């Protein structure tokens, strides 16, 4: 394997791992902030205990998310130096803005929150977690603006042998960024909702701390339901966006080889990339792809064969990722809708609770699949239409990258195992014993 | 002009990073020497608990600003120093996780594993950051294409290692002073017994390093060749470096720990800026041929980007400094042993 492939593997592995932790940070911080706000408003101590319990899981997750994020910033320079040199004028600025505007806020106030339970007034303490939650999502916004620029570069000119910024506002406000932000952040919020529901279901099935976990479950349910709706509605618009901006990605994620009028969508197919066809095609929905791409069942969709062979992305991975993501997206909507009608009697629906417990990994899979589609579907470009991934890699040696790749796999596996073990232990243990004045009453009366 | 402003900001960001993360890297390295009991370990962890994460973001920002303002330097620096940076990265990853997880895993074997990660993960970045910057001061083997022609071992040359030792010594003293500020009980007593020895070691190393710099680098040339432009750094910076070093000793002698810590901060900032100012207008001087060097002119971003980023930096960096200062002030009370023994979370 050459430096390019090793670097791609390393970047993929490091990003995949980082992205296991980021979505939960984004969503859970908001849920905890809501819990603390309810506590401040009503004085119901149970919500304070909820914030503490979920907060502990949050901190374990946060620690890994933060340290693995440093890797990503380093890697643009270490492994993709030609990319950094070529687009740093734009891309580098966006990362620097993210650090100074959002990451500082998040990292500084998470410590205030963790160490400040007894030092701050409840109100001030709730403010700190809102700062963390806001900063986390703001951080995602800047990273996604940077990524959107790789997907659809705007506001630049090629000058002095590199891409130079000409219109900052265009970069920040382009619609590709807006779509990606809503899509990715909603996906993260759904994940956090399912995480809280799943862990709560575990305890509800065991009849432990039922009041505590019913409240947690219902809050997470409402949260996940809202964003499951947003995701399905916006996902459709996102499809049209891809069709307009990245026709090769669209053709790859549908494994469409021939240009077709009234193009169908296949529920299932086995792409045969070598022979530029599908071995098996099954479950055609007539005109569905034309509809998704152009809101018109009669529209013509360009097939892969009409693009130069060296500008086509891999097909199988985007095709599968897309189906997993969309299928799960609809499943999340169905589950949260069902849950919404059963929310008054969760304990009376052990079957549903069991499903929700085992559904914890599903949003993780959906988030990673979406990322896979976005990044693999963009290939062979690192910046769509501007720079190819193969020309972006650093002038480094195979042994260097091989060593770091092996080290990443080892260290990340160990950290992943430790984090999983720690989270599972604390999740199963449930909240520390606590006293509540009354089931629903205010702490002021206690 | 914009390039020069960014050069200053670039130097200042690295200096602030070393000043802040310096004390917690120092505490991590001092751990096996000052903490024998679990309580002592907890006191030391608690002394840096609310800060280390926010401190580390200065590294991200320094890296990010290099990327944004001088992308070509960022590309050459990070790919050229690949192995050293990867080591720093792994060390910081393990350290960050270890600090967090040791609190939540009370099994003794796990604690031992995390303790080792904290020590190694603190010592290694301190050493390697020093090695990296000393190498930058003396010049790295960059060819005409800006490709690094050395390896990890060529970085570990005598002057590079000297820089590493200097950084470790500065951070140890800085961390020791922080413990004197932020702790009570046996940790503070041990730190008080150690501080003068650390100071003496640092004074010897620092003076040695300044002399070695005369022979190994061209930093002084800058000062000598441009007497007018460098009248400020030639008088101010050595004055700050030497003055701060002396003041650390004076304040420490009187037991004025906060003042001593601030003097130590001034020392770290002074040393960093002394080196960085000597580089100007280079960011990465080439040891093969001065013409191959990365300078603020051949590696800077476009004027528009520099302008926008300057606006961002001048707005947000003061904001960050303000709220971080608030946090430092908020948690300023020394950690008691009783407080450290209860789980903070």
Per-residue pLDDT of chain A (446 residues; tens, 9 = 90+): 799 999 999 999 999 999 999 999 999 999 999 999 999 999 999 999 999 999 999 999 999 998 998 898 899 999 999 999 999 999 999 999 999 999 999 999 999 999 999 899 999 999 999 999 999 999 999 999 999 999 999 999 999 999 999 999 999 999 999 999 999 999 999 999 999 999 999 999 999 999 999 999 999 999 999 999 999 999 888 888 898 899 999 999 988 999 988 888 888 889 888 888 888 888 888 888 898 888 888 889 999 999 999 999 999 999 999 999 999 999 999 999 999 999 999 999 999 999 999 999 999 999 999 999 999 999 999 999 999 999 999 999 999 999 999 999 999 999 999 999 999 999 999 998 876 654 444 443 33
CB half-sphere exposure, A308, CA atoms < 13 A:
5
* Average of per-residue pLDDT across B278-300: 90
CA distance A423 to A421: 6
With beta carbons less than 8 A apart as the criterion, state whether B244 and B266 touch.
Answer: yes
Predicted confidence (pLDDT) at residue B231 exceeds the cutoff of 80: no
Q: Are A78 and B79 within 8 A, CB to CB?
A: yes
Q: How far is B299 from chain A (nearest CA, A)?
A: 9
* CA distances from residue A177 to A180, A188, A431, B249 in whole angstroms, order as listed: 5, 16, 39, 54
Q: Are B68 and A103 within 8 A, CB to CB?
A: no
Q: Are A108 and B77 within 8 A, CB to CB?
A: no
> From A67, which residue of chain B is nearest by alpha-carbon distance?
B93
Q: Are A93 and B68 within 8 A, CB to CB?
A: yes
Q: Are B65 and A96 within 8 A, CB to CB?
A: yes
Tell me which DSSP letter residue A437 carries: S
- Is A287 part of a structural domain of the chain? no
Residue B17 class from Cβ within 10 Å (0-12 exposed, 13-18 middle, 19+ buried)? Answer: buried
Give the mutation candidate from B93, B106, B116 for the A interface (greatest A CB count, under 10 A).
Answer: B93
With beta carbons less than 8 A apart as the criterion, state whether A136 and A126 touch.
Answer: no
Mean pLDDT estimate for chain B: 91
Phi-psi region of A381 (alpha: psi -120 to 50; beta: other; left: phi over 0): beta
Handedness of CA A316, A321, A324, A330 (dihedral sign): negative
Backbone angles phi, psi at A347, to 5 degrees: -65, -20
* CA distances from residue A106 to A130, A204, B98, B310 in whole angstroms, order as listed: 10, 33, 20, 22
CA distance A25 to A66: 10
CA distance A74 to A10: 12
Q: How far is B48 from chain A (nearest CA, A)?
A: 10
**Where residue B336 falls among pLDDT bands split at 50, 70, 90?**
confident
Angle at B214 between CA B271 and CA B155, to 5 degrees: 75
* Average of per-residue pLDDT across B205-222: 84
Full DSSP string of A294-357: HS-TT-EE--GGGS-GGGPPPSHHHHHHHHHHHHHHHHHHHHHHHHHHTGGGSTT-HHHHHHHH
Backbone angles phi, psi at B37, to 5 degrees: -95, 165
CB half-sphere exposure, A235, CA atoms < 13 A:
21
Q: Are B323 and A396 within 8 A, CB to CB?
A: no
Instruction: Kindly provide the ipTM of the predicted complex, given to two decimals.
Output: 0.91
Handedness of CA B23, B24, B28, B33 (dihedral sign): positive
Q: How many CB pairs under 8 A join A and B?
A: 209
| Residues of chain B positioned with their CB less than 8 A from the CB of A396 | 79, 82
Q: Which domain holds residue B49?
A: 2-341
Number of domains chain B contains:
1
Q: Are A84 and B145 within 8 A, CB to CB?
A: no
Per-residue pLDDT, B241: 85
* CA distances from residue A270 to A222, A317, B227 in whole angstroms, order as listed: 38, 11, 73
Q: How far is B237 from chain A (nearest CA, A)?
A: 27
Facing B104 at nearest CB: one of A60, A95, A415: A60
Q: Which domain holds residue A412?
A: 3-246+315-445
CA distance B137 to B118: 29
| Beta bridge mates, A387 | A383
- Is A275 part of a structural domain of the chain? no
**How far does CA A234 lie from the centroid of its chain?**
15
CA distance A35 to A49: 9
Per-residue pLDDT, A444: 39
Q: Are A100 and B53 within 8 A, CB to CB?
A: no
Please name the residue ranges forming H helices in A79-206.
81-97, 104-115, 122-151, 168-173, 175-205
Q: What is the 3-state secondary structure (H, E, C) of chain B?
A: CHHHHHHHHHHHHHHHHHHHHHHHHHHHHHHHHHCCCHHHHHHHHHHHCCCHHHHHHHHHHHHHHHHHHCHHHHHHHHHHCHHHHHHHHHHHHHHHHHHHHHHHCCCHHHHHHHHHHHHHHHHHHHHHHHHHHHHHHHCECECCCCCECCCHHHHCCHHHHHHHHHHHHHHHHHHHHHHHHHECCHHHHHHHHHHHHHHHHHHHHHHHHHHHHHHHCCHHHHHHHCCCCCHHHHHHHHHHHHHHHHHHHHHHHHCCHHHHHHHHHHHHHHHHHHHHHHHCCEEECECCCHHHCEECCCCCCCHHHHHHHHHHHHHHHHHHHHHHHHHHHHCCCCECHHHHHCCCC
The least confident of B104-118, B125-139, B219-233, B234-248 is B219-233
Helix (H) or strand (E) holding A288: helix A288-294
Facing B304 at nearest CB: one of A68, A88, A165: A165
Q: Are A394 and B79 within 8 A, CB to CB?
A: yes
> From A404, which residue of chain B is nearest by alpha-carbon distance?
B86
Provide CB contacts within 8 A for B21, sequence distance 6+: B52, B55, B56, B58, B59
| Residues of chain B positioned with their CB less than 8 A from the CB of A164 | 301-302, 304-305
Number of domains chain A contains:
1
- Is A371 part of a structural domain of the chain? yes
Q: How far is B227 from chain A (nearest CA, A)?
A: 34
* CA distances from residue A222 to A189, A204, A346 in whole angstroms, order as listed: 11, 18, 14
With beta carbons less than 8 A apart as the criterion, state whether B66 and B73 touch.
Answer: yes
SS3 A412: helix
SS3 A165: strand
Provide CB contacts within 8 A for A361, sequence distance 6+: none
Per-residue pLDDT, A439: 46
> From A92, which residue of chain B is nearest by alpha-carbon distance?
B68
Q: Are A105 and B323 within 8 A, CB to CB?
A: yes
CA distance A324 to B275: 54
Percentage of chain B beyond pLDDT 90 is 77
Per-residue pLDDT, A288: 87
Per-residue pLDDT, B228: 63
Per-residue pLDDT, A237: 86
CA distance A339 to A360: 15
With beta carbons less than 8 A apart as the criterion, state whether A34 and A199 touch.
Answer: no
| Residues of chain A positioned with their CB less than 8 A from the CB of B96 | 63, 66-67
């Amino acid at each position: 394997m050459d430096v390019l492939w090793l670097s791609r593997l390393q970047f993929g592995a490091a990003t995949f791992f980082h992205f296991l932790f980021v979505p939960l940070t984004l969503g859970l911080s908001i849920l905890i902030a809501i819990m603390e706000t309810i506590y401040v408003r009503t004085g119901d101590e149970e919500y304070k205990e909820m914030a503490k319990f979920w907060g502990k899981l949050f901190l374990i997750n946060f620690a890994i998310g933060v340290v693995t994020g440093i890797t990503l910033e380093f890697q643009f320079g270490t492994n993709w130096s030609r990319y950094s040199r070529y687009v740093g004028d734009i891309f580098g600025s966006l990362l620097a803005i993210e650090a100074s505007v959002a990451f500082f806020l998040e990292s500084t106030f998470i410590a205030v929150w963790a160490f400040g339970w007894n030092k701050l007034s409840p109100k001030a303490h709730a403010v700190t977690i809102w700062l963390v939650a806001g900063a986390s999502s703001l951080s995602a916004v800047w990273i996604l603006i940077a990524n959107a620029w790789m997907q659809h570069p705007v506001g630049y000119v090629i000058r002095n042998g590199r891409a130079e910024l000409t219109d900052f506002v265009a970069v920040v406000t382009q619609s590709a960024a807006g779509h990606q932000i809503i899509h990715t952040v909603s996906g993260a919020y759904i994940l956090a909702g399912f995480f809280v529901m799943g862990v709560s279901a575990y305890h509800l099935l065991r009849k432990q701390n039922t009041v505590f976990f019913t409240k947690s479950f219902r809050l997470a349910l409402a949260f996940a339901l809202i964003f499951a709706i947003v995701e399905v509605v916006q996902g459709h618009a996102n499809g049209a966006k891809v069709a307009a901006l990245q026709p090769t990605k669209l053709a790859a994620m549908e494994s469409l080889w021939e240009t077709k009028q009234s193009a169908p969508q296949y529920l299932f197919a086995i792409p045969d990339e070598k022979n530029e066809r599908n071995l098996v095609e099954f479950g055609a929905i007539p005109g569905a792809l034309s509809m998704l791409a152009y809101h018109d069942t009669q529209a013509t969709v360009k097939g892969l064969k009409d693009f130069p062979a060296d500008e086509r992305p891999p097909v199988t991975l985007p095709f599968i990722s897309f189906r997993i993501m969309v299928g799960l997206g609809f499943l999340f909507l169905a589950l949260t809708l069902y849950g919404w009608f059963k929310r008054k009697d969760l304990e009376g629906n052990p079957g549903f609770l069991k499903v929700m417990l085992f559904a914890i990994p599903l949003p993780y899979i959906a988030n990673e699949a979406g990322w896979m589609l976005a990044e693999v579907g963009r290939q062979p470009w690192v910046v769509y239409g501007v720079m190819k991934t193969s020309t972006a890699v650093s002038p480094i040696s195979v042994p260097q990258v091989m060593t770091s790749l092996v080290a990443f796999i080892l260290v990340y596996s160990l950290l992943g195992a430790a984090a999983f073990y720690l989270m599972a232990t604390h999740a199963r243990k449930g909240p520390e014993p606590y006293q509540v004045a009354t089931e629903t009453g205010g702490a002021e009366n206690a | 002009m914009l390039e020069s402003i960014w050069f200053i900001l670039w130097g200042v960001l690295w200096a602030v990073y070393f000043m802040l993360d310096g004390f917690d890297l120092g505490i991590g390295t001092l751990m096996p020497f000052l903490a024998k009991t679990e309580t002592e370990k907890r006191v030391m962890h608690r002394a840096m608990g609310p800060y280390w994460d926010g401190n580390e973001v200065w590294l991200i920002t320094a890296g990010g600003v290099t990327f944004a303002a001088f992308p070509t330097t960022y590309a050459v620096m990070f790919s050229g120093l690949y192995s050293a940076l990867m080591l720093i990265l792994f060390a910081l990853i393990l350290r960050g996780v270890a600090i967090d997880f040791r609190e939540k895993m009370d099994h003794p074997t796990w604690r031992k594993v995390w303790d080792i990660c904290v020590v190694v993960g603190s010592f290694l970045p301190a050493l390697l950051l020093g090695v990296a910057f000393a190498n930058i001061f003396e010049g790295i083997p960059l060819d005409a294409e800006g490709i690094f022609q050395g390896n990890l071992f060529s970085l570990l040359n005598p002057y590079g290692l000297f820089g590493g030792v200097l950084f470790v010594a500065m951070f140890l003293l800085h961390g020791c002073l922080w413990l004197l500020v932020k702790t009570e009980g046996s940790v503070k007593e041990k730190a008080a017994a150690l501080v003068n020895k650390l100071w003496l070691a640092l004074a010897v190393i620092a003076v040695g390093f300044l002399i070695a710099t005369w022979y190994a680098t061209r930093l002084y040339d800058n000062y000598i060749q441009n007497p007018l432009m460098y009248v400020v750094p030639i008088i101010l910076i050595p004055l700050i470096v030497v003055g701060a070093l002396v003041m650390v000793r004076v304040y420490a002698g009187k037991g004025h720990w906060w003042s001593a810590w601030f003097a130590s901060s001034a020392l770290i900032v002074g040393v960093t800026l002394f080196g960085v100012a000597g580089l100007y207008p280079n960011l990465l001087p080439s040891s093969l041929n001065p013409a191959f060097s990365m300078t603020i002119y051949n590696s800077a971003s476009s004027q528009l980007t520099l302008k926008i980023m300057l606006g961002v930096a001048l707005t947000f960096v003061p904001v960050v400094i303000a709220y971080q200062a608030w946090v430092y002030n908020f948690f300023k009370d020394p950690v008691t042993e009783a407080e450290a023994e209860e789980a903070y979370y």
